[in-house]
Structures are given as C-alpha cells and as structure tokens.
Structure 1
Amino acid sequence: MIYKVYYQESLSEVPVREKTKTMFVKSDSVLNVRRSLKDRNLNIEYIGTVEGAYMDYEKENEDFKVLEL
C-alpha cells in the first residue's frame, strides 16, 4: 500500500500549513510507516492511504516519488 505522509521538518516547531511537506511511502501499515520514519525526527501530522483515482492524480505530479522503507 502507498501512504502519503504530511509532516513538518522540525519536532520543535508548531505545525503550519504553509510549511507542511509531503512524502509517499510504500509499506504494509501505518504503524510500520511511523516506525520507519521515527529516526528522522519529523513532526508527522497525518498519514493517509493513496489509492484509486487519488493515486492516478498524484502520479501526474512530477515530484511523485515513492520511498520503500
């Protein structure tokens, strides 16, 4: 499954929408995504699944890259 992770680069900053970044991660569960990203010190706001028409839309973006953790 592909997950879209919304995050802030610093744990010490308050989340601000304009500074939110995203990444796509291939994993078998949300828990494994969180475990895999734990050592990166990211402030994870939300992790959602990407599938169907939403996946097709995201693939059109030139920055679409999937991390396999």
Structure 2
Amino acid sequence: MIYKVFYQETKERSPRREQTKSLYLDIDAETELEGRIQARQIIEKNTAYNIEFIELLSEKALEYEKETGVFEVTEF
C-alpha cells in the first residue's frame, strides 16, 4: 500500500500550510491503520519531521500522483 505523508521539515516552528511537503512510502501492512502506524514510526525514526497527516492512496489517487510527475517512493 502506498501512503502519502504530509509534513513540515522541523518541529521547531509553527506549521504553515505553504511549507507543507509530502513524501510517499510503500508499506506492507494488513490494515490501513497498521500502515499508518508503521509509516509514522518510520518517519519518526529516520527524520525530525513534524508529521501533519498520513493518507492511504487509492488506486485512482495513485494514478493521479504518478501523472503529475512528482511521485517517488521514499526509502529509508
């Protein structure tokens, strides 16, 4: 399952919508909730990012992300 993680690069400043970034993770989980938990754990272990939201992408949403040209799965 592909998850899109919205984040701020630092926890030091107040979040600003204009500075929100995203990355994509390929998580092997049995349920959506388990995938979200694993995604959060991976991000917290490997970065100092302030996680705003974690979204499971549907097939249609994944196709759209690939078409926009910004889709790239992040690996840690």
The reply to whether TM is greater than 0.5 is yes
Aligned partner (choices 22, 26, 31) of residue 37 of structure 2 = 31
Secondary structure in 2 aligned to 1:60?
helix
What is the CA–CA distance in structure 2 between the aligned matches of 1:22 and 1:68, rounded to whole Å? 13
What is the CA–CA distance in structure 1 between the aligned matches of 2:16 and 2:70, rounded to whole Å? 21
1:18 aligns with 2:4: no
Unaligned runs of 5+ in 1: none
Cα-Cα RMSD: 1.2
Matched letter for residue 49 of structure 1: L
TM-score normalised per structure 1:
0.90
Report the structure, 1 or 2, having the larger helix content. 2
What residue in structure 1 maps to residue 68 of structure 2? 61
Cα deviation 1:19-67 (Å, max 9, x = unaligned): 0000011112111111111130100000001112111111112221012
Identity of aligned residues (%): 36
TM-score normalised per structure 2:
0.83
Secondary structure in 2 aligned to 1:67?
coil
What residue in structure 1 maps to residue 54 of structure 2? 47
Secondary structure in 2 aligned to 1:12?
coil
